[in-house]
Amino acid sequence: MSIQVSTPVEELEAAELQAVGLSAAAQKRQDYLAKLLNLAKSKPLDVAGAAWVQALRDQAANLVQEQMFPSTRDEEWRFTDLADLLQVSLQAEGSGAGVTLEAIAPYLLPEAATSRLVFVDGHYAPELSAVDDLPETLLIGNLGRLATDARLQPYLAKQAGAEELFTALNTAGMQDAAVLFAPKNLVVETPIHLLFITTAGSVAKLTLPRTLVIAEPQSALTILEEYVTIGEGTYLTTPVSEIWVSDNAQVHHSRIQRDHASAFHIGKTAVSQERDARYTCNAISLGAQLSRHHLEIYQTGEQTETHLNGLTLIRDAQVGDLHSTIALTQPYGVTRQLQKCIVGDRAHAVFNGKVFVPKLAQQTDAGQLNRNLLLSPKARVDTKPQLEIVADNVKCTHGATVSQLDDDEVFYLQSRGIDAATAQTLLVYAFAYEILDQIPVESLKQSLSAIASQVV
């Protein structure tokens, strides 16, 4: 037996760096963050003459500068390792190749044929968008055209949690935004499709899609927010959506992430709910090699109702992470969360569900359930329900289950003449369907169901 004693040069350098406060690895992360920020800042602002938007960008850039790029030593990033992202050399985008209506045909929804905003690599694409036959009082379009409307300024980049690193990065490089403003009492029954396309190719780019939704008192909106890729290749997208649901208003939101399998997706949905506001989110996450979704609900009035349904369906070596926060502050809130993960091959799903019930939030009724289906012995799930309850007269439940396809269930189906492969497909589909069924648009539900049926 021989014992090697060596002092590698790297370690010495690390020790030296330690002396000035950063390890080599941390320094590498900070360098990467500096590059990210520079890339974001170099994004042209597509909003002419709007100094207030530029001011938001500058403030956010300062917020980014003060922060550390996360590592798995940070509690919030313990299970989601961004090391692979650090290997991706992101570049400023060249002139984006023209995306045709034909190219995006697979993603068009007949139910939203004339209520669609399309953004390509963060730029608004009017030739791909269609907004006809919508109520005249509904403000819909891109920030570039609507920024002069004084009603937007109090909301943009004002949602709680704006200082979070990737949220601030998005704001620091905000080029444009999809904007929806439903004035008081306006009920829009047509679902509105927000389609964000990244064109992937040999150059790995950074895209920063942005959405602002405001539902004034007693208005109602149905939104389908979708992230897709044209082409193949890696990129980083850090979308941010801010949704404001006022008194007794209602927003039904479906968020579909189906980025290319080489992509990195770190996104944010921040929602505030005033008195009696109702908000539903169906978050479906299928794509990207690494995806993370911060879903944050901020209750600002009494008796709100919140439904969070989520499905993460991943395989190969995909990582799919949902970090949700429900911050209650007022009495009589009702929240229902059901997060399901179907994990195949060597994929890794992460769920962290925070629910805050402070003293003032009496009579809260909060339910949280995370159910996971592992399809392979190497599949992995990390689940962490995190309830902080101070109020003493509340009903809060949580649960997490991890299971595999049950041999007895497969056998039961086989004993009725259904072959083993079909039986497995049927069982996985059934597991996913509970969430997919919540999507209010039939064509989208069908196309996602077809994907869920192919996973085994």
Which of 16, 430, 443, 450 is in the footprint of other proteins by CB under 8 A?
430
Pick 78 or 445: Cβ nearer other proteins = 445
Verify binding: residue 415, other proteins, rule CB under 8 A. yes
Verify binding: residue 2, other proteins, rule CB under 8 A. no
In the bound complex, what is the minimum distance in angstroms from residue 311's beta carbon to other proteins?
12
Verify binding: residue 422, other proteins, rule CB under 8 A. yes
In the bound complex, what is the minimum distance in angstroms from residue 397's beta carbon to other proteins?
19
Which positions from 180 to 219 touch other proteins by CB under 8 A, shown as an x/- string? ----------------------------------------
Pick 339 or 364: Cβ nearer other proteins = 339
Which of 39, 141, 431, 444 is in the footprint of other proteins by CB under 8 A?
431
Which of 108, 409, 449, 451 is in the footprint of other proteins by CB under 8 A?
409
Q: What distances in angstroms separate CA 251 from CA 38, 69, 98, 213, 244, one per listed residue?
A: 35, 33, 33, 9, 9
User: By CB under 8 A, which span of 37-45, 65-73, 133-141, 400-408 interacts with other proteins?
Assistant: 400-408
Verify binding: residue 442, other proteins, rule CB under 8 A. no
Verify binding: residue 155, other proteins, rule CB under 8 A. no
Pick 48 or 430: Cβ nearer other proteins = 430
Verify binding: residue 412, other proteins, rule CB under 8 A. yes
Pick 138 or 432: Cβ nearer other proteins = 432
Verify binding: residue 426, other proteins, rule CB under 8 A. yes
Verify binding: residue 427, other proteins, rule CB under 8 A. yes
- Are 326 and 298 within 8 A, CB to CB? no
3-state secondary structure the chain: CCCCCCCCHHHHHHHHHHHHCCCHHHHHHHHHHHHHHHHHHCCCCCCCCCHHHHHHHHHHHHHHHCCCCCCCCCHHHCCCCCHHHHCCCCECCCCCCCCCCCCCHHHCCHHHCCEEEEEECCEECCCCCEECCCCCCCEEEEHHHHCCCCCCCCCCCCCCCCCCHHHHHHHHCCCCCEEEEECCCCECCCCEEEEEEEEECCCCEEECCEEEEEECCCCEEEEEEEEEEEECCCCEECCEEEEEECCCCEEEEEEEEECCCCCEEEEEEEEEECCCCEEEEEEEECCCCEEEEEEEEEECCCCCEEEEEEEEEECCCCEEEEEEEEECCCCCCEEEEEEEEEECCCCEEEEEEEEEECCCCCCCEEEEEEEEEECCCCCEEEEEEEEEECCCCCEEEEEEEEEECCHHHHHHHHCCCCCHHHHHHHHHHHHHHHHHCCCCCHHHHHHHHHHHCCCC
Verify binding: residue 405, other proteins, rule CB under 8 A. no
In the bound complex, what is the minimum distance in angstroms from residue 405's beta carbon to other proteins?
11
User: By CB under 8 A, which span of 105-113, 191-199, 309-317, 416-424 interacts with other proteins?
Assistant: 416-424
Verify binding: residue 150, other proteins, rule CB under 8 A. no
Verify binding: residue 48, other proteins, rule CB under 8 A. no
In the bound complex, what is the minimum distance in angstroms from residue 406's beta carbon to other proteins?
8
In the bound complex, what is the minimum distance in angstroms from residue 437's beta carbon to other proteins?
9
Verify binding: residue 417, other proteins, rule CB under 8 A. yes
Which of 429, 438, 444, 455 is in the footprint of other proteins by CB under 8 A?
429
Sites of contact with other proteins (CB under 8 A): 406-409, 411-420, 422, 426-427, 429-434
